[in-house]
Amino acid sequence: GDSVTQMQGQVTLSEDDFLFINCTYSTTWYPTLFWYVQYPGEGPQLLLKVTTANNKGISRGFEATYDKRTTSFHLQKASVQESDSAVYYCVLGERNAGAKLTFGGGTRLTVRP
Amino acid sequence: NSKVIQTPRYLVKGQGQKAKMRCIPEKGHPVVFWYQQNKNNEFKFLINFQNQEVLQQIDMTEKRFSAECPSNSPCSLEIQSSEAGDSALYLCASSLANSDYTFGSGTRLLVI
């Protein structure tokens, strides 16, 4: 079945550091790939989405490229802020509205002021 | 401010009791999902609906949960007989045909 792997369970950075969160996926389909962010006490919120291989998604300074060759969708940000502290999920979805999502294990980002 | 509204935010039940939670999907979204998020942040898909009809559900949901999504009323998910292992955050999400998913803030269930 489909799977998503995030190797980093926790990442701790200082403000203005570069962020890189690793994500690889496995599926037999041509998926839509998402990054969701979850703040304490809230549900996941969409950060960015890419539907087509080799395209890049950009939102709020975060970016991720859908790399079909390496089956990766790593998340990057050039300069993190304390307000970016949250849990980030790499998520795989199919191309129809009824399809369920497959979540990675999540990466807890802590940004120190 | 989520466009998917879940109630209640917190629910405390004894083992064996029923636990019911509700969800109002984002307006115009025909597909509704329920996920369970455990304390290790792992997500488990429970069930989804499209226009009131069940699309998919896992075995656990079929056996122990009751769920519906009637027209013009909130969707609901009810555990028929709560177990300690059911303690989790229950998330409702809705989506459009272009696969944008919106999540609610969840109902946190504690079974004591």
Q: What is the pLDDT of residue B61?
A: 82
- Closest to A35 in 3D by CA, of A101, A100, A96: A101
Closest-CA distance, B84 to chain A, in angstroms, reads 21
For the cut 70, the answer to whether the pLDDT of residue A69 exceeds it is yes
Q: What is the pLDDT of residue A28?
A: 84
Q: B93 vs A99: CB contact, 8 Å cut-off?
A: no
Q: Are A76 and A66 in contact (CB under 8 A)?
A: no
Nearest chain A residue to B94 by CA: give it. Answer: A97
**CA–CA distance from B26 to each of B6, B29, B51, B74, B93 (Å)?**
11, 6, 13, 11, 8
Mean pLDDT (whole number) for A76-87 = 98
Q: What is the pLDDT of residue A97?
A: 63
Pick among A96, A101, A107, A108 to test the B interface (most B CBs inside 10 A): A101
What is the Cα–Cα distance from B49 to B75, expressed in whole angstroms?
9
